[in-house]
Amino acid sequence: MAEKIFKKKVELPELFYDLVFAYAISQTTDLLYHFKGNLASVAEAFIIFSVVMVVFINTWMIKSVFINRYGKNSIADIILFMIDVAILLYMSNAFKGNIQDWFQPFAIATGLLSTVLVVQYGTVYLTSKKSADKRISRLMMTITAARTVLVFIGAFLPLKFGIPVALIGIAISWVLPGLFGSILKLHALNFPHILERLTLLTIITFGETIVGIASYFTVETFNFYSILIFTIVGALFMTYITQMDHYIDENRSDETGIRLIYVHYFILFGISLVTVSLEFIGESHIPKNFAILSLYLGLSLFYLGLFLTSPYNKKQLNSDKQVIVFFTISTIIGLLVSLMFNQFSVVVITTALIAIINSIVYVRYMIIKTRL
The pLDDT of residue 2 is 47
Q: 3-state class of 318 per DSSP? A: coil
Task: Give Cα 208 to chain centroid, integer Å.
Answer: 12
- Average pLDDT value for residue range 178-199: 89
Give the closest residue to 22 by CA, choosing from 57, 55, 50, 52.
Answer: 57
DSSP 245-274: IIIB-----SB--HHHHHHHHHHHHHHHHH
> What's the pLDDT at 371?
75
Model confidence pLDDT, tens digit, residues 304-348: 999 999 999 988 887 678 899 999 999 999 999 999 998 999 999
Instruction: Pick the closest to residue 95 from 50, 61, 36, 157 (CA basis).
Output: 50
Give me the pLDDT at residue 8, please.
86
What are the backbone angles phi and psi of residue 281, rounded to the nearest 5°?
Answer: -65, -20
Tell me what pLDDT residue 161 has. Answer: 94
> Quick check: 137 pLDDT over 90?
yes
Beta strands in the chain (DSSP E): none
- The pLDDT of residue 101: 87
How far is Cα 206 from Cα 227, in angstroms, rounded to an integer? 16
The whole-number average pLDDT for the span 128-155 is 95
CB 18 within 8 A of CB 204: yes
Side-chain half-sphere exposure of 251, counting CA atoms within 13 A: 8
Query: Crossing angle for the helix pair 288-308 and 344-371, nearest 10 degrees?
Result: 10
Question: Amino acid identity of 338?
Answer: S
Chain-wide mean pLDDT for the chain?
Answer: 90
What pLDDT shows up at residue 269? 94
> Is the separation of the CB atoms in 197 and 18 below 8 Å?
yes
pTM listed for this prediction = 0.92
Beta carbons of 279 and 213 less than 8 angstroms apart: yes
User: CA 232, CA 358: separation in Å to the nearest integer?
Assistant: 11
Per-residue pLDDT tens over the stretch 9-68: 889 999 999 999 888 888 888 787 766 566 677 778 888 888 899 999 999 999 999 999
The Cα–Cα gap between 353 and 2 comes to 40
Angle, helices 131-156/39-70, rounded to nearest 10 degrees: 150
- Any idea how long the chain is? 372
